[in-house]
Amino acid sequence: MRTARCIMLQGTSSHVGKSLLCAALCRIFFQDGYRTAPFKAQNMALNSTVTPDGGEIGRAQGVQAEAAGVAASVLMNPILLKPKQDMQAQVVVLGSPYADMSARNYRRDFLPGAVAVVKDCIEKLKNHYEVLVIEGAGSPAEVNLKDRDIVNMKTAELADSPVLLVADIDRGGVFASLIGTLELLDPEERERVKGFIINKFRGDIELLQPGLDFLVEKTGIPVLGVVPYLHDHGIDEEDSVSLAEQKGWGNVDAPIQIAVLQLPRISNFTDINAFIGLPDTRVRYVKKGEAIEKADLVIIPGTKNSILDLIYLKEEGYSREIADLVRKGAMIAGLCGGYQMLGEELLDPLGTEAGIGSLEGLGLLPVSTVFEAEKSNHQVEGEILAQEGFWSILHGQRISGYEIHMGQSRVRQEASLLEIQSRSGQPVKIGDGAIAPGGRVFGTYLHGIFDNANLMLALTNTLRHDKGLPELRVEDLPLYKREHKYDLLAQTVRGALAMNGLYRIMGL
């Protein structure tokens, strides 16, 4: 029976770059001929994706599977936590909603039995793959959580995996964070740490060398590499923590301006990545307290709580700004929760969203949404029905994406955007999405809709035509270069790490 070799990346804190480095390692092992899979026992993230069989997992593991050249599986992220409100999250187990739980109840009632789920997934993956690239969460040295932590050293124990400890030098205090983390580990946990990776380095490596020498002398653990800060790498981020550092992409004075509303409970914001890097285009997040101002396209992204974030749009005055931009001819796109908000009403009879009943929508699409207890998770394929505006050149074309939503929306037939014809591989005929007259205001439940090159090219060239700019070709689209981005990422990380040392640590 095959037993995969493992390597686990744990961090001195959250947001040190573990997800991206794991994606790079998945690509490197794939390039080196190993059948490779990613794994993360428990993910807290509002960026998720859908596996071919309709399960929901963290977006990071979906990206890592893509980098490894394999299909994503619920085994790769058995437990997903999706925060709904400050003290409550939806718990997704093996791809399906399990329950809404408070942090206290999750820790007390759920975690003791979760170890068996994690162990089973690890064993199945190790029997099917040759290499397992495992990602931790936060820090393994959270002393108040360690007794029931299933995602760091407990996972390393279950997988019998060596651990590399990753630290973010861009934050400062990198040596204290590495040594301090080691000091807080139990002796058997410390024994698993076989190397350090220093990430997000911007300086002169020669000036860093005395610190690296001190680190090795102090701990007896080698530094496997110093990875440079990766600007505009184009790989999907794990969660909205990365948005706090993001001011925008592209020239501030670019002729095409795209504004993305940074909702308080934003989810699946990776939908906008297709626009990042477009020629002549500025993409920016509109954060609380900032005005949308001028925008050629406004995107209202997904959210884990459509009703509460719709209230936010109204209280912050964004609903008025959006209505004014529509009158001026701007495009407005609503994705999933954003699509629901663009409709006429949101009805919550079961208290699924916020327990406040119904709420009037923005009224820009002829859509009524009812929130239900059941969740829709599907990879889908369909056909574009719309014929208004630029959609006329797309009418009848194929489209694909994935659904992750609680609500069901009713729309007038003549306003339907597309027809879903396959859900999780099963034939169906279901309408999705809506457009307003003229086609410049539209919404859909389909995440990843902008990853369809035909649609993206038509939309982009419509915006360019409005500005008198020449049309782009499909080769000019950033999404066309996704595989190349994985290779570039792998090339950078491979060059920064002592790969022979890593292979020895893994026993490869």
Contacts of 215 (CB under 8 A, 6+ apart): 175, 178, 179, 196, 221, 223
Q: How would you classify the pairing of strands 367-384 and 416-423? A: antiparallel
Rounded Cα distance between 64 and 458, Å, is 29
Helix (H) or strand (E) holding 155: helix 153-159
Three-state SS for 224-258 is EEEEECCCCCCCCCCCHHHHHHCCCECCCCCCEEE
Residue whose pair of structure tokens reads 């184009």 in the numeric block: 234
CB atoms within 10 A of CB 224: 21
| Neighbour count for residue 393 (Cβ, 10 Å) | 14
- Which listed residue (22, 26, 121, 336) is catalytic? 336
- How far does CA 89 lie from the centroid of its chain? 17
Strand pairing category for 42-44 and 79-85: parallel
What single letter denotes the amino acid at residue 415? A
Estimate to the nearest angstrom the gap between the alpha carbon of 438 and the chain centroid.
Answer: 32
Phi, psi of 305 (to 5 degrees): -150, 95
Helix, coil or strand: residue 135 = strand
The helix-helix angle for 59-68 and 18-31 (nearest 10°) equals 20
Label residues 22-37 b or e (16+ Cβ within 10 Å = b): bbbbbbbbbbeebebb
Q: Does the annotation mark 405 as catalytic?
A: no
Find tokens 């975690």 and name the residue: 111
| DSSP annotation string for 389-402 | GGGGGTTT-EEEEE
The Cβ-side half-sphere exposure at 291, using a 13 Å CA radius, reads 6
Single out the residue of 37, 5, 51 nearest to residue 121, CA to CA: 37
Residues in the chain: 508
The DSSP-derived string for 446-461 is -BTGGG-HHHHHHHHH
CA 123 to chain centre: 26
Active site residues: 336, 447
